[in-house]
Homo-oligomer: A and B are copies of this chain.
Amino acid sequence: MSIVVVGSVAYDTVETPRERRERQLGGSASFFAVAARGRGPVRCVGVVGDDFRAEDLALLARHADIAGIRQVPGRSFHWSGRYHADLIERDTLATELGVFADFQPEIPASWRDAEYLFLANIHPALQAGVLDLMRSPRLVALDTMNLWIETTRDLLLAILRRVDVLLVNEGEARLLTGERSLARAAAAIRAMGPARVIVKKGEHGALFFGRDSVLAVPALVLDDVVDPTGAGDCFAGGFMGSLAEAGVGRDAPDAAFRQAMLDGTVTASFCPEGFSVEGLLRVDDAAYARRLAELKAMMVP
């Protein structure tokens, strides 16, 4: 079944202790689309400037339908950051919205019937705009960040009532709810609307709070991290792709979502092994199966 994703299609300038990459393909919708590829038609909604390279659009077009990406005069969204020695902590050096500042999402009419919708981390008014365009998705998931929780709280709360799965990190869960305990925070978020909450913890894995169960999935223990940018969006891509492939809707039991948590984790594990989407692009079925087996072996009590 098909998945619509709306988010940023962007350029990232990334500095790690070993290397610096200038204006490489990035953005939440890009990572999501490449991560979800092969699991169902993926349809991207976004905007890029006239500086966006044809080869990057072509790369995305190999993995997703990009009819929802408009190219307009101006500069593409550009994020620039520097990672610390631990390759976990990072400083944002610049966030240049460019053409994203005036982004008004539109979607091809035929996409309105897509079964799955992922609202990546953008202004909640834009997220709501896309949700309004959809006919009756089987499942809607949403990502957000501190900025929107702090500055557009009412808009965010309004859209959360219409969302099935919220993906946040620990700090965002606490900021949104005022609860220090993640157990209490998840319960408070579920009372806001989303029946399921995923708390992403980076190199510590992710927690799934479902209707009647909790699952803790560890992150794979990687030998080498090159660039962790985008891993959270890759998790979302693997997770939503897994649900779409299996046809899991909001009424399915927690068990169906637990499998998707594993797929999200395995998918995300390839992202930090390369810059941009390079790590993801190296994955083949055998590598995926090996890592899924490794993850399960790490989890079995």
Using CB atoms, name the residue of chain B closest to A221.
Answer: B183
Using CB atoms, name the residue of chain B closest to A298.
Answer: B216
Does A87 sit within 8 A of B, measured CB to CB?
yes
Whether A224 contacts B300 by the Cβ 8 Å rule is no
Does A211 sit within 8 A of B, measured CB to CB?
no
**This chain: copies in complex:** 2
**Chain B CB within 10 Å, residue with most, of A215, A216, A258, A296:** A216
Does A122 sit within 8 A of B, measured CB to CB?
no
Cα distance A20–B216 in the bound complex, in angstroms? 33
Q: In whole Å, how far is A273's beta carbon from the nearest beta carbon of chain B?
A: 11
Q: Across the interface, which residues of B come within 8 angstroms of A259, CB to CB?
A: 301
Cα distance A204–B170 in the bound complex, in angstroms? 11
Contact of A183 among B85, B216, B222, B297 (CB under 8 A): B222
Q: Across the interface, which residues of B come within 8 angstroms of A296, CB to CB?
A: 301
Whether A223 contacts B181 by the Cβ 8 Å rule is yes
The proximity string for A residues 27-48 relative to B, scoring 1 for CB distances below 8 Å and 0 otherwise, is 0000000000000000000000
Whether A216 contacts B218 by the Cβ 8 Å rule is yes
Cα distance A224–B225 in the bound complex, in angstroms? 34
Using CB atoms, name the residue of chain B closest to A259.
Answer: B301
Whether A85 contacts B222 by the Cβ 8 Å rule is no
Q: In whole Å, how far is A237's beta carbon from the nearest beta carbon of chain B?
A: 20
A189-232, CB < 8 A from B? 201, 204-205, 207, 213-218, 221-225
Q: Across the interface, which residues of B come within 8 angstroms of A258, CB to CB?
A: 301
Q: In whole Å, how far is A192's beta carbon from the nearest beta carbon of chain B?
A: 19
Using CB atoms, name the residue of chain B closest to A17.
Answer: B180
Whether B86 contacts A182 by the Cβ 8 Å rule is no
Q: In whole Å, how far is A96's beta carbon from the nearest beta carbon of chain B?
A: 30
The proximity string for A residues 161-201 relative to B, scoring 1 for CB distances below 8 Å and 0 otherwise, is 00000000000000000001111100000000000000001
Contacts A297-B213, A299-B300, A299-B301 hold; do A183 and B223 have CB atoms under 8 A apart?
Answer: yes
Q: Across the interface, which residues of B come within 8 angstroms of A214, CB to CB?
A: 221, 294, 297-298
A273-301, CB < 8 A from B? 294-301
Contact of A204 among B183, B204, B213 (CB under 8 A): B204
- 9 interchain residue pairs of minimum CB distance: A216-B218, A204-B204, A183-B221, A216-B298, A296-B301, A214-B298, A299-B301, A183-B223, A299-B299
A-B contact pairs, 21 of them (CB 8 A): A86-B180, A180-B225, A181-B221, A181-B222, A181-B224, A183-B221, A204-B204, A204-B205, A205-B218, A207-B221, A214-B294, A214-B297, A215-B300, A216-B299, A218-B218, A258-B301, A262-B301, A295-B301, A299-B300, A299-B301, A300-B300
